[in-house]
Amino acid sequence: MTAQLLDGKALAAQVRTQLAGRVAALRSAGCQPALAVILVGSDAASQVYVRNKIAACEQAGIRSLHQTFDADLRESELLARIHALNHDDSVHGILVQLPLPPHIDAKRVIEAISPRKDVDGFHVASAGALMVGQPGFRPCTPLGCVRMLEHIGLHDLRGRHAVVVGRSNIVGKPMALMLLGMNATVTIAHSGTPDLAHTCRQADVLVAAVGRPRMIGADMIKPGAVVIDVGINRGADGRLCGDVDFEPAREVAGWITPVPGGVGPMTIAMLLSNTVQACDQE
C-alpha cells in the first residue's frame, strides 16, 4: 500500500480561488476584507510566515496591512496599536505573529484583540465558542485539518477513532474538540504517553502535532489510517520535515500530508477564510 497524498498546497489554491469570488462580491457591496498583520522583532521564520500570509491575501483580493516593529517595542505600545485597529472599521481581522519577544505577554496581547477581529481564533471568546459548539472563529491550523478531512469525504467520523499527538492550546486541544464535533472518538496523547505507539496504532485518523522531527514512525500507524502531520521541523540534514517519518509512513497509511506542502498552506487559507467571514458579518 502506498498512501494517497493529501495535497494541502493544491487544496489551499482552490480555497483562495473560491474566496476571491466572495471577496469580489463583498467589494461590489462596498466592503473589502482587510487583514492587519503585526510582526514584532526579526525572527527569520516569522518573517517568512508573514510574507506568505501577505502574498496569499493579495492573491485572494484581501487588503493587507503589514506592520513591523523592532524587538524592543514596549508592550504598552503594542497594546495601543491593537486598540487602534480594534476601532478601525476598515480592518476586519487582526493577527499578531507569534512568538513575541520575552518581555511581552502573548496572552495579554491576544486577549486585547477584539473577538470580532480574532481571525487567528486564539481569543478566550473564540475558545469558549468552540468548547460549547457555538459559531465563532476557529483556530486556523485545526480548521485547515478538518477541511482536508472533508475534502477526502470524511465529513462524519462517527465510529472512527482519532488520536491527536500534542496537547497544546494552539493545536492539540482545539483539534480534539473539532474532531469531537465530527462525531469521532478522540484520544489526546503526547510524547510522554505510556506506550504511545500502541495508542497511535488505534487511530483511524492520526494527527501529529508534537514538534519533534520524524517522531511518528511507520510502526506507530494503523494500516490505511489518515495521517495529518502538523509538525514543521529542521531535520539533522537541515531539510524541512514533519513529526512523521514520511517515506516509511507512506507505505502504511491510506492518506498522508506532506511537509512542506500539507497543513501549512491550509492554515493560511483558513486565515483568509476567517478574514472574509469577519467582513461578511459586518
CB < 8 Å & 24+ apart, contacts of 101-104: 101/40, 101/41, 101/71, 101/72, 101/73, 103/75, 104/40, 104/73, 104/75, 104/78
CATH class, range 140-263: alpha beta
pLDDT in tens, the chain (282 residues): 799 999 999 999 999 999 999 999 999 999 999 999 999 998 888 888 899 999 999 999 999 999 999 999 999 999 999 999 999 999 999 999 999 999 999 999 999 999 999 999 999 999 999 999 899 999 999 999 999 999 999 999 999 999 999 977 778 999 999 999 999 999 999 989 999 999 999 999 999 999 999 999 999 999 999 999 999 888 888 888 999 999 999 999 999 999 999 999 999 999 999 999 999 987
pTM of the model: 0.94
- Characterize the bridge pairing of strands 240-241 and 255-256: unpaired
Task: Parse the chain into domains and list their residue ranges.
Answer: 30-114, 140-263
- For the annotated catalytic residues, the residue numbers are 53, 97, 120
**CB within 8 Å of 165: residues ≥ 6 apart:** 189, 190, 191, 193, 196, 200, 206, 207, 208, 209, 210, 216, 243
Residue 212, pLDDT score: 93
Domains 30-114 and 140-263 share a fold: yes
Q: Which three cell numbers stand for residue 194?
A: 505510556
Q: Report whether 199 contacts 178 (CB < 8 A).
A: no
Topology (CATH level 3) of domain 30-114: Rossmann fold (3.40.50)
Gap between the Cα atoms of 50 and 57, Å rounded: 11
Phi, psi of 99 (to 5 degrees): -80, 160
DSSP annotation of 261 reads S
Q: Report whether 71 contacts 101 (CB < 8 A).
A: yes
Q: Which three cell numbers stand for residue 49?
A: 510566515
Residue 238, pLDDT score: 83
Gap between the Cα atoms of 55 and 229, Å rounded: 24
